[in-house]
Structure 1
Amino acid sequence: MNNFALKNFKLSHWMASDSIIETLALGDLILPGAHNSGVDKKATYAAPGVAHWVACQSHSFYEQMRNGARAIDARIEYHVDSRGVGTFWFQHAGIRSSRSLENLIMQVIRFLEESPDEFVLLDFHELKSGNVDFDHREFGRFLLMHLGQRVIPSSNRHLNLGQLKQASHVQRVWLAANRHEALDPAWFLQRIEHRWSGIEDTSVVELENHIARTLQAPPIGSMPWSLSATSYSIALGPVDIKEHLDRWFDPESGNWVFNCSIINADFFEESRLVHNCRAANIIKAQRRTK
């Protein structure tokens, strides 16, 4: 176990726990990610008994961030009810949860009020039509109106965390989504590239092979990218693979973690993923200063 992981720090404040992490920019950071963040065990679902097969996280957005997740993998659909009221709901493979975009925004604000020196990437990986076409204009308006001054302008994405803190005491949220004419590129980064095995029921062996192949030649550039580190069983649904995550991404036992950007995991807080990402960021920053 590495010494950085042993150091006493709060998961809710891990980015601010060591000043050297501030020398890294968004594209440099190694971020623990919450895969399918809006479908968790504490949410409710329209179809009974489906949580077992669709829930990818244990807790709500707020608890995910409190437990160290800094990349929120958001997959939503737009639905208009019989009253004509539109809502952006979180979903997994078309199965909608009780989590909404409003829930996410409120919990991000709550988290940042408690942890003002942390940063969060909201990766809107899927924007799907529900019973009507997806309303990109309303989606962008809703986010920017409610997150307001907390959103980091796209022009500042190259700044490191220390520079971002100097530029603003409240701008702590990056927004990323697929390019659309209704989404202002001044505030929305381009869509985050996701590297997935392509196998619906990915076994641990298939996942390990996928990670090994991906990290032989990982994506390069200044934008972050997301590595899917998830396993799925037809019988069990999303599988808790904490022992494998701990081994694969330990910065003392190998180099995999240093070639990553976002490690997108199910039930991430049950592993040492946050500890290992934090340690890897410190080591990466130290290497750059030598």
Structure 2
Amino acid sequence: MTNNHPHKNWMAASPAIDNLTLMELVWPGAHNAGMDYDFPYLPHLQPFQGWFVCQEGPFIQQLNEGVRALDLRFLSDEHWLGIRKFHTFHGYEMLTGRSLAELFKSLNFFLNENPDEFVILDIHKLQGRDERQFDYQGFHDAVISELGTRLIPKKNRYLTLGELKKTSSLQRVVFSCDWHPDLDSPLYWPKINHRWSGSDVTSPEALRHFIQHTLISPPDEDLLWSLSATSYTKSIGVMRLTQELNDWFGPNSGWAPKCSIINADYIGDTQLVAYCREINFSRGLQKT
């Protein structure tokens, strides 16, 4: 039988990686992970999907393909109660995608099948609908209730993957978010620093120059940080940079080893997961 997801358990299948800490890894990341082409958007929005959709398939597909960092922005809608009020969004409040409930369901299913894979939830933005405040308390309650046993405490951030496995058979998720009085927990990590071009419209050539400049002096190696390797143009929308990303972060470029999280659109089309796996495997062997 053909293995349609050769990188489904790439971390567990590369035992040398156990010698590394979470900060020493290079993570393949999905930009706007909750906005994908399989989601049933409202009919009047579907003709414009190219301008706000960033991934091919849902959370579970991304995880099976080897993505290990999910870039997420959540909207809270007070027309709903409990966990049902939280959905991903991109840019405008009308452009909503996958739900928080589906994220938790996908993560739990995936980690039950692949208990030694690690995943970063990069909560990049939290916003209320119609100028209302985001429901931080409700969000916190949902996270702790549905995912609390899987969260890696911030105090364990300097342990190696091998040490984390010995510490717990369940804690495999980094939950990173901005601080708020209602999001104050030892299970939450600080918000991840995103490096991006600074412009909503970025051509592939401008992106290449931005990445090259950023990697001359990358951020602190002791912190998780995310490099936005994404391009957007007014005429096309979200750019599919398959060949560019393969070239820029391939084994001969030297760019990928300088990164923490490589945050990309349509990451399943690229070889980024394979490149990250090779870099991490090699680093792990060097620490043996």
- Aligned match of 1:118: 117
Please say if residues 26 and 223 of structure 1, whose CA atoms lie closer than 8 Å, have aligned partners that are also in contact.
no
Is 1:61 matched with 2:82? no
Query: Structure 1 residues 84 and 165 mapped into 2: Cα distance closer, same or farther (>3 Å)?
Result: closer
Q: Distance in 2 between matches of 1:84 and 1:240?
A: 37
1:29 aligned to which of 25, 40, 54: 25
C-alpha separation between the residues in 1 aligned to 2:207 and 2:286? Answer: 29
Structure 1 stretches (4+) deviating beyond 3 angstroms?
83-86
Distance 2:73 2:109 in 1: 21
Q: Do the aligned partners of 2:36 and 2:97 also contact (CA within 8 Å) in 1?
A: no
Corresponding residue for residue 254 of structure 2 = 255
Residue 284 of structure 1 pairs with residue 283 of structure 2: yes
Which residue of 2 is the match for residue 4 of structure 1? none
Name the SS of the counterpart of 2:10 in structure 1.
helix
**What does 1:115-264 align with in structure 2 at a 5 Å threshold?**
115-131=114-130, 132-251=132-251, 253-264=252-263
2:127 & 2:187 partners in 1: Cα distance? 20
Unaligned runs of 5+ in 2: none
Percent identity over paired residues: 38
* Structure 1 residues without counterparts, runs of 5 or longer: 1-8
Q: TM-score, normalised by structure 1?
A: 0.92
Contact 2:52 2:95 in 1 (8 A): no
Alpha-carbon spacing, 1:98–1:248, altered in 2? closer, same or farther (3 Å): closer
Give the AA of the match of 1:117: D
The alignment's C-alpha RMSD in Å is: 1.6
The residue type equivalent to 1:56 in the other structure is C
CA distance in 2, matches of 1:84, 1:287: 50
Q: 1:52 is aligned with what amino acid?
A: G
In the alignment, is the contact (CA less than 8 A) between 1:44 and 1:97 conserved in 2? no
The CA deviation at 1:35 is 0.2
Contact preservation (8 Å) 1:227, 1:262: yes
Q: 1:84 to 1:147 in 2, by over 3 A?
A: closer
Q: How big is the shift at 1:80?
A: 1.2
- Contact 2:60–2:107 (8 Å) recurs in 1: yes
Q: Secondary structure at the match of 1:97?
A: strand
Shift of 1:45: 2.5
Residue-by-residue CA offset, 1:140-173 (whole Å, 9 max, x unaligned):
1101110131111111111111001000111111
Report the Cα distance in structure 2 between the residues aligned to 1:180 and 1:153, rounded to whole angstroms. Answer: 17
- Indicate how the Cα distance of structure 1 residues 137 and 280 shifts in structure 2: closer, same or farther if over 3 A, else same: same
Other structure's SS at 1:68 match: coil
1:44 maps to 2:71: no
Residues in 1 aligned to 2:175 and 2:223: alpha-carbon distance in whole angstroms: 12
Structure 2 counterpart of 1:3: none
| CA offset digits 1:184-229 (Å, max 9, x no partner) | 2301100000000012121111000010011000001422100000
Count of matched residue positions in the alignment of Structure 1 and Structure 2? 280
- Between the aligned partners of 1:44 and 1:178, the Cα distance in structure 2 is 30
Q: 1:285, CA displacement in angstroms?
A: 2.4
1:54-133 matches, within 5 Å, as 54-81=52-79, 87-94=85-92, 95-131=94-130, 132-133=132-133
Contact 2:196 2:227 in 1 (8 A): yes
User: Displacement of 1:286 after TM fit?
Assistant: 2.8
Please say if residues 53 and 236 of structure 1, whose CA atoms lie closer than 8 Å, have aligned partners that are also in contact.
Answer: yes
**Match of 2:55, as an amino acid?**
Q
Q: Is the 8 A contact 1:15 1:118 kept in 2?
A: yes
Secondary structure of the corresponding residue to residue 24 of structure 2 = coil
Q: 1: distance between equivalents of 2:191 and 2:217? A: 20
